[in-house]
Structure 1
Amino acid sequence: MYYIIRRTLIALATIGVFVACGGQKQTVTVAYNDYRVTKNVQPDSAMLKLLAPYSDSINKTMNQVIGFATNTLQKKQPESNLGNLMADAMKHTAKEVYKVNVVAAFVNYGGVRSYIPKGEVTIGKVYELMPFDNLVIVQQVKGDVLQAFLNHIAGRGGWPISGIQMKIVDKKATDVLVDGKPIDMNESYYIANSDYVANGGDDCDMLRNIPQMNNGYLFRDALISYFKVLTRMGKPIDSKIENRITL
């Protein structure tokens, strides 16, 4: 079951309010208690009844099956089947949405929050995988900026990437191929990232001031759409290790 709100600790507060003759309200005391929510805590029937119309609707959506995974997909560095799948989804969506030749896409490793078990894949599983409202962003970068970004990724042990092949040597990206060709420091490339990374998150300062293509398309929706595309094509939700990043 999927809940609207999840918390492990609830603080209940009692607030005392003093009203002066002039009508101004002023807080005079605040008292609170912490209540840890465990399996032994029984749900409040009145609250469940209140939330039922919303939770029923949410569960119907979250339990919708959008594909089938023939293998368990998990994240791992420097490369993983799950990471490749997600980066491919980012690249595919960016090309479809922005109508430019996106040659590479990236997913920050720390943003991948779950895994996909073998079996039916639901929308709820995608929400567990990508709980953040990150957006799909496209930027046009010079080769030297892309190299700096790849060096950063190499220094972090490798991120999910699509359209790039590289080696990590002494925490630097070497032997870089972009769309099958050696990287050109003077060339301009369209790359896709989340808005978090494009705005300089995870210490990606080299991307912070570069103009963005942003139409508000959620990365989570990109994953859902891509998985549905694979299913319509009769393909499983799967990916393989392709030596996109080697050590």
Structure 2
Amino acid sequence: MTFKHLIGCFIVLSLIACKQESHLYKIEGEQILISDSLSANHDVEAFIKPYREHVYKDLDSVLTYAVETYTKTNGEFNTAIGNLMADAVYEESNPIFNKRTGKNIDMVLLNHGGIRSIISKGNVTTKTAFEIMPFENSVVVVALKGIQVFELVNYLSRAKRAHPISGLQLTLDRNYKVKSALINGKPIESETVYYVATNDYLYNGGDNMNFFKTNDSLYLLDYKIRSVLIDYFVKKDTLNPVIDNRFIKLK
């Protein structure tokens, strides 16, 4: 496929000297068509070749193996790939958070739309992590009182979407009303502070998750979601995530 770009190349044709001053006399523009028919610059190619090969080698490094193909469309309220991502954020981020604060992450909330690719059956590489999460989103931990967590829960019940969660067990009745909401197996208490891991995009109101803004504290882990996935993959010999009962609707 040929891509056409117009590049304005401004050329100064002449300058007229007037005592100690110079004046721009004329500017002309030339249109140069850029397409794949242009010959490569061999010196440039030779220069970047080792860097390109190094990047490709890193991206193609096999980290783990997936027993099935996982996609964000294979579940109504929770998906195997979404569960994997939320669990990975908890597993990889909690030790960092605990070391810095002495506290533990209570739950994780990510967004369904942030899953940008599938995990294909077979070898899972570094490139897989980049495809799933091509953005530069990082993990943040937000301290929310239970009253704000209730807003989070109500948001999920209204959204009716498989936003990835971990640590939260949410059950809706047949009318999509919240029947039960548990964190670490216990009912949410309105005055208790819960530490919720999410990403900076959602914290800043992405997907209309405005409940994060009313918080007691914000902790920046300086840990990209993509790096979370890579670290998680390296530790797993095999990926076999499942759809479970962490977010369900009763019939």
Residues 219-247 of structure 1: CA deviation (Å, up to 9, x unaligned) = 1111111122223xxxx112111121112
Unmatched segments (≥5 aa) in structure 2: none
Q: Does the 8 Å contact 1:17/1:25 carry over to 2? A: no
> For residues 1-247 of structure 1, what are the structure 2 equivalents within 5 Å?
9=3, 11-18=5-12, 22-23=21-22, 28=27, 44=40, 46=42, 48-76=45-73, 77-99=76-98, 100-156=103-159, 157-168=161-172, 173-208=178-213, 210=215, 211-231=217-237, 236-247=238-249
Shift of 1:216: 1.1
Provide the aligned C-alpha RMSD in A. 2.8
Alpha-carbon separation, structure 1, partners of 2:184 and 2:53:
45
SS of residue in 1 equivalent to 2:218: coil
Shift of 1:107: 1.6
Identical columns (%): 28
SS of residue in 2 equivalent to 1:102: coil
The one-letter code of the counterpart of 2:228 is A
Residues 110, 11 of structure 1: CA spacing in aligned structure 2 closer, same or farther, 3 A cutoff?
Answer: same
SS of residue in 1 equivalent to 2:222: coil
Q: Does the 8 Å contact 2:205/2:212 carry over to 1? A: yes
Alpha-carbon separation, structure 2, partners of 1:141 and 1:8:
52
Unmatched segments (≥5 aa) in structure 1: 1-6
Q: Does the 8 Å contact 2:11/2:29 carry over to 1? A: no
Structure with the greater alpha carbon radius of gyration? 2
Residues 42-68 of structure 1: CA deviation (Å, up to 9, x unaligned) = 883635444312210101100111111
Q: Does the 8 Å contact 2:64/2:239 carry over to 1? A: yes
Shift of 1:215: 3.1
Alpha-carbon separation, structure 2, partners of 1:155 and 1:33:
53
Q: Does the 8 Å contact 1:103/1:179 carry over to 2? A: yes
The one-letter code of the counterpart of 2:171 is K
Residues 20-57 of structure 1: CA deviation (Å, up to 9, x unaligned) = 655577995656577677xxx78836354443122101
SS of residue in 2 equivalent to 1:216: strand
SS of residue in 2 equivalent to 1:93: helix
Residues 216, 16 of structure 1: CA spacing in aligned structure 2 closer, same or farther, 3 A cutoff?
Answer: same
SS of residue in 1 equivalent to 2:83: helix
TM-score (norm 2): 0.81
Paired residues, number: 234
Deviation larger for 161-170 or 222-231:
161-170
Alpha-carbon separation, structure 2, partners of 1:245 and 1:222:
23
Residues 15, 34 of structure 1: CA spacing in aligned structure 2 closer, same or farther, 3 A cutoff?
Answer: closer
Q: Does the 8 Å contact 1:11/1:32 carry over to 2? A: no
Q: Does the 8 Å contact 1:17/1:26 carry over to 2? A: no
Alpha-carbon separation, structure 1, partners of 2:149 and 2:5:
47
SS of residue in 2 equivalent to 1:215: strand
Residues 76-126 of structure 1: CA deviation (Å, up to 9, x unaligned) = 342110000000001112211111211111221111100111111100111
Shift of 1:150: 2.4
In the alignment, what sits opposite 1:4?
none
Alpha-carbon separation, structure 2, partners of 1:151 and 1:26:
67
Alpha-carbon separation, structure 1, partners of 2:24 and 2:91:
56
